[in-house]
Structure 1
Amino acid sequence: MATLRLEVITVERKLIDEEVNMVVAPGSEGVLGILPRHAALLTALTYGELVVKRDGQPDEFLAISGGFMEVQPGHVVVLADAAERAEEIDLERAEAARKRAEELLAQAKKSDVDFTRIEASLRRSLTRLKVGRRRAEKRFAPQRSDYERMQ
C-alpha cells in the first residue's frame, strides 16, 4: 500500500513524523483528504479535526487550531498554531472552557474586539471536545478505519 510522510509540527513540538496512508485536514475552504501522490498544494488550516489513517490501525485524531499545510506528492507538512492528540485532551477542562466562552459570547457585542477572541476560544473548545470524545468512543467501540473500509 502506498504511503506518504506526514509531519505535524507546532511551535512547541513535533507530534508526528511518520509514514501514513491518508490525512484528512480542516482546510480554510473545506475538509481536504490527502492520499499518496496528491498534487502539490499549500493551504491555510482552520480549527478542526486532523485525522491520520494508517493501514491496520485505528484512525488517530488531533485537535488543531489553525495553521498551514504543505502537500507534495509523497510528503505532507502540517504547521499548526496548536495541536493535541485525543488522549492529551482533558474533557472536563475543555467543557469548562466551552461554557466560559459561551457565557462571555452572550455578553459580548459583535462590534467588541473581544468578540472575535471569544468566538475563537469557543471554536477551539468545541474542537477539543469533539476530538477528546473520539478517544472515549474508541475505548468502547473499536472499529476499522474508514480507509480500510474503502479497500
Structure 2
Amino acid sequence: MTGCGSGGDKDGGKKEAGAPSASSSTARDSALDGKGGSSFDGVYAARSGDGPVGLSVYQGKAALYADGGKRACTGTVGVDKKPVAFTLTCADGNTDRASGKVERSDGRTLVVSWAGGRKDTFSRTGDAAQLPDPAKLGGGGLPAPTKLGG
C-alpha cells in the first residue's frame, strides 16, 4: 500500500460475492431528507497522494479542495440518482476530481471513485454548513484540513 487513495476495507476485503453493500443501498434509499438536504450533507476529509483533501456537501452542492488548499472545485452532488455522483469544476481547470461516484457511505465514511482514476476515502469531520460563495474558493488561501479521520 502506498498511502494514496483509499485506506482499504476493515474486513480485509472479505465480503460475500454478489451481496450488495447494506451501507451503500441504505445511503441511496435515504439520501434525501425532505428539507432540501441529504444524508450526505456534511464536512469530510481524506488523505491522498497529493495531500489532504477536504469536501463539503450541503443541499445538493459540493465544494472540494486539494493540493494543500491550492485547488478549489465546486459543483453539485446528485443524491437523487443511482449511483450518487459528484460533478465539479475546478478553478484551475484540473479534472482529477471533476466527476466522481459514491461507492460506499455509512454516515461516517464516504468512498468516492473519481473518473480521473483516484479513489478517496473521506471521514466525516463535521456537520453540514452552507457552502461559501464560489468566488471565495479561488484557491491559494484555503487552509488544509486539520482533522483527518482514520
- TM (norm. structure 2) is 0.29
**Which has the higher relative contact order, 1 or 2, with Cα contacts under 8 A spaced 6 or more apart?**
2
Q: Return the index of the structure with the highest Cα Rg.
A: 1
